[in-house]
């Protein structure tokens, strides 16, 4: 016996993302648009007859949709994981061609893989062009077994600016994170903008041992009119309305503090 996806899909009007601190992002639509995957049991003969699905054609994908998903993915990774450092890596033209995305991507991947193996690192790194639109540098969030070096400088808020000796391709800074995870997650997504380009063929690199990429997601059915939200959106191209309930930063901090105080077990992710 085996399983295949059922053609009888079930749709819901509410999607809730549940984060490790108990906070949720909730989208409620006036119509059921979120489909849940249903599976049905089939015997071996029927299973063999199931055709292989064709790859999704992304050639006509709306760029704005792709950008929105990238921003949401970056936020989820930043908020679901315990990162220690906000890092910036620049490139020295004497050590690497900072104008060549292919060369940079190859060496960056090798560097990150090495840090995962040697320093138990986990990370999210977003490449960005300089203001001249040519040279490349990176921003990101990082954790792992690293010995940062005090640069002797501070931020305008008085935080120590460190350097990362392991980064051999140019200048580096590392600032230790100690504030709200919501603020950090929202801050890192600002580097994914409408002018953003897939420099390395991807919006970002993320990886490492135990990295959580997505929060728990629940699909529900709720009364659209009964849900209270600050804003109601109605995209011009859709015949639906939706309400979006975002994470409240202060509430997230309070919830996290309560969970820590009572020793609550966090959500387990697959």
Q: What is the pLDDT of residue 55?
A: 34
Which element (helix H / strand E) includes 181? helix 181-189
Tens digits of per-residue pLDDT, 1-27? 443 444 567 899 999 898 988 888 889
Q: What is the pLDDT of residue 10?
A: 87
pLDDT surpasses 60 at 68? yes
Collapsing DSSP to helix, strand or coil, 203 comes out as coil
pTM equals 0.76
Collapsing DSSP to helix, strand or coil, 237 comes out as coil
pLDDT interval class at 253 (50, 70, 90): low
CA separation for the pair 86, 17 (Å, rounded): 25
pLDDT interval class at 250 (50, 70, 90): low
Tens digits of per-residue pLDDT, 151-168? 999 988 888 999 999 999
Neighbouring-strand partners of residue 128:
137
Neighbouring-strand partners of residue 216:
18
Collapsing DSSP to helix, strand or coil, 185 comes out as helix
Contacts 24+ apart (CB under 8 A), 252-258: 252/19, 252/21, 252/23, 252/180, 252/181, 252/182, 253/180, 253/182, 255/21, 255/22, 255/23, 256/21, 256/22, 256/181
CA separation for the pair 129, 109 (Å, rounded): 18
Using a 10 angstrom Cβ sphere, with 0-12 exposed, 13-18 middle and 19 or more buried, the burial of residue 29 is: buried
156: which 2 tokens?
């305008």
Please list, in sequence order, all residues whose beta carbon lies within 8 angstroms of the beta carbon of residue 63, skipping any fewer than 6 positions away. none
pLDDT interval class at 128 (50, 70, 90): confident
Number of H helices, E strands in the chain: 5, 16
Orientation angle between helical segments 181-189 and 249-262, nearest 10 degrees: 130
pLDDT interval class at 44 (50, 70, 90): very low
CB contact at 8 A, 216 and 17: yes
């Amino acid at each position: 016996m085996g399983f295949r996806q059922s053609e009888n899909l079930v749709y819901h009007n509410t999607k809730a993302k549940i984060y490790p601190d108990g906070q949720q992002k909730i989208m409620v639509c006036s119509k059921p648009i979120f489909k849940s995957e249903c599976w049905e049991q089939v015997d071996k003969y029927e299973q063999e007859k199931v055709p292989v699905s064709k790859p999704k054609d992304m050639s006509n994908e709306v760029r704005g949709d792709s950008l929105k998903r990238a921003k949401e993915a970056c936020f989820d990774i930043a908020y679901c994981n315990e990162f220690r450092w906000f890092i910036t890596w620049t490139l020295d033209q004497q050590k690497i061609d900072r104008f060549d995305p292919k060369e940079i991507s190859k060496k960056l991947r090798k560097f990150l893989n090495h840090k995962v193996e040697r320093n138990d690192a986990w990370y999210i790194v977003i490449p960005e062009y300089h203001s001249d639109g040519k040279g490349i540098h990176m921003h990101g969030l990082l954790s792992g077994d690293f010995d940062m070096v005090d640069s002797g400088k501070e931020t305008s808020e008085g935080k120590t600016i460190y350097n990362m000796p392991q980064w051999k391709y140019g200048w580096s800074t590392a600032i230790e994170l100690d504030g709200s995870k919501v603020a950090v997650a929202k801050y890192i997504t600002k580097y994914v903008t409408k002018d953003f380009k897939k420099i390395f063929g991807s919006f970002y690199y993320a990886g490492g041992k135990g990295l959580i990429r997505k929060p728990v997601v629940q699909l529900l059915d709720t009364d659209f009119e009964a849900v209270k939200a600050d804003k109601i959106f109605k995209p011009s191209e859709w015949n639906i309305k939706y309400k979006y309930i975002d994470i409240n930063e202060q509430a997230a901090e309070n919830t996290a503090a309560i969970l820590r105080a009572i020793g609550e077990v966090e959500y387990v992710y697959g």
